[in-house]
Amino acid sequence: MAKSLYTFIILPEASARLHKLRLPVLVLHLLVVIGIISLFVIVGLGFSYAKMAFKVADYNKLQAENLDLKVQKKNLEVSTVKLGTKLTALQTLSGSTVDYRTSDLIRSSDPNVDVEFLKGRTTELENQLKLLEQVAVRRASILRFTPTIWPVRGMITSHYGNRLDPFNGDSEMHFGLDIAALYGSLVHAPADGIVIYAQRKSAYGNLIILDHGNGLTTRYGHLSRFNVQVGQTIRRNDMIGFVGTSGRSTAPHLHYEVRMNDRPINPRTYLPKS
């Protein structure tokens, strides 16, 4: 029985000679099957490669996002620590305290705490800081206008309250402190204020009155000279005058009074212990 063959005639361009290629039908069918299988394999490999490439891209993206989250978390942890330190300092300065929930304290100490919690905690701390900064500013402003430093250094020779008059020995109410100092010693303003009086006044002698606002005033008597004038704005520790013996005085000293709504109060209420 004759074999079924396919004959392929090949005609080279540079030659007039024909070439014949005879292939059995079975071989040709086998080659077609191999070609089809090869095509599927190539297509499959292409899809696998594409899938792998997408997976690698997704992995790299996740790695980058994970690194970014780690950096964010580290930055938030540092910010939280800094804010916590600043918050503590402002609490001390303002005299205020913050009520922390137990759950927040436990979560903040967990090394595996998530970024969202840290973001929320940072925002909460920032809000608390703003409030405490406002309190601290108000407190600092009040402190500047409160007479909390000694106007002159020296020994207290007569305290606030009842005493014997140094001239006649009679009992009298002494409305301030007598602070002994050398003649001409510098007298300093114990707080910010405005000069509302600076002239001689009977027993006070040369007298300066400073208005510190909110009804608070201070008086400085028996001065030898003034270093301010009425209407002048004074800052804490500014030099306002000099110790003397003007008025009803037995020796160089400063008569120092503090008044609230023009009512005398003990200056020691505001002055430091030493």
Asked if residue 199 belongs to a domain, the reply is yes
Report d(CA 10, CA 25) in Å as an integer.
18
More confident residue, 93 or 140: 140
Q: Provide the CB-side half-sphere exposure for 171 (13 A, CA).
A: 2
Domains held by the chain: number? 2
Contact 146, 157 (CB under 8 A): no
Q: 160 and 140 in one domain?
A: no
Range of the domain at 251: 156-269
Does one domain contain both 214 and 237?
yes
Name which of 71-80, 232-241, 252-261 the model is least confident about. 71-80
Q: Residue 268 and residue 155: Cα distance in Å, rounded?
A: 13
Write the CATH number for 234: 2.70.70.10
Cβ-based neighbours of 107, under 8 Å, separated by 6 or more = 113, 117
pLDDT tens digits, one per residue of 182-235? 999 999 999 999 999 999 998 999 999 999 998 999 999 999 999 999 999 999
Euclidean distance between CA atoms 88 and 140, whole angstroms: 17
Q: What is the mean pLDDT of residues 100-115?
A: 55
User: Which residue from 129, 143, 39, 119 is spatially nearest to 86, judged by alpha carbons?
Assistant: 129
Query: Is the pLDDT confidence value at 258 over 80?
Result: yes
Closest to 152 measured CA to CA, from 223, 103, 201: 223
User: What integer pLDDT is reported at residue 166 of this predicted model?
Assistant: 82
Asked whether residue 136 falls in the same domain as residue 13, the answer is yes
Residues 69 and 195 in one domain: no
Is residue 192 domain-shared with residue 255, that is, in the same domain?
Answer: yes
Asked if the model's pLDDT at residue 1 lies above 50, the reply is no
Give the tokens for residue 155.
């020994």
Flag whether 150 is in a domain.
Answer: no
Residue type, 109: S
* 133 occurs within a structural domain: yes
